[in-house]
Amino acid sequence: MARRRHHEHTVRWVWAIGIAALAGVAMSSRRASATPAPSPGASPINPSTGRPIVTRGGHTLTDAELRDLIARHGFADAAKAFAIAKRESGGQADVIVDTRGMSAAQLLAYWGKPAAPELSAGLWQINVLANGALVPGADVDTKASALTDPDTNAATALALSHGGSSWGPWGA
């Protein structure tokens, strides 16, 4: 349940950044209990790494492309796979959320609730810190980069969801 709320908040935040950047207007706040929102188009900086917490690359799949990807990978529940990918990333294949190294207090200030550090990437926002064994690559940064490939992310989500029939890691 907590993981689902965490991912829902992540996606709302990623979308809020994108919408504010496109509209060119400042956001009033991410959430009433969260820290103030950054300037439009910017992501808060991870104080541990000095890099943005949310990194967007700009490769967004259309709904048709996402449905095709899901069909090609054979998810048992295609509708659920689609809904979760849209909730997690908005269809953005190359979004990465990196809160590694942040203290419990910094994570609480950022998320507005207790949370663990993460390095989540791609359409289904797969956390390589928790699921790295399923992802190709020598280190976590390489694994996160690999997950920005839609096919790699879909294959990993398929494995984590037991063929697309069990969405527990996403709180569903």
Q: What is the pTM of this model?
A: 0.74
Q: pLDDT averaged over consecutive 10-residue blocks of the chain (172 residues)?
A: 46 37 27 35 85 92 98 97 96 96 95 94 96 91 96 97 92 80
Whole-angstrom Cα distance, residue 172 to residue 166?
8
Per DSSP, the three-state class of 97 is: strand
Residues 6 or more apart in contact with residue 25 via CB below 8 angstroms: 40
pLDDT for residue 172: 75
pLDDT for residue 128: 96
pLDDT for residue 158: 97
pLDDT for residue 138: 92
Per DSSP, the three-state class of 14 is: helix
pLDDT for residue 37: 35
pLDDT for residue 19: 31
pLDDT for residue 41: 58
Question: Domains in the chain, ordered, with CATH?
Answer: 2-30+43-170 (1.10.530)
Phi, psi of 119 (to 5 degrees): -135, 90
pLDDT for residue 31: 28
pLDDT for residue 132: 87
pLDDT for residue 82: 98
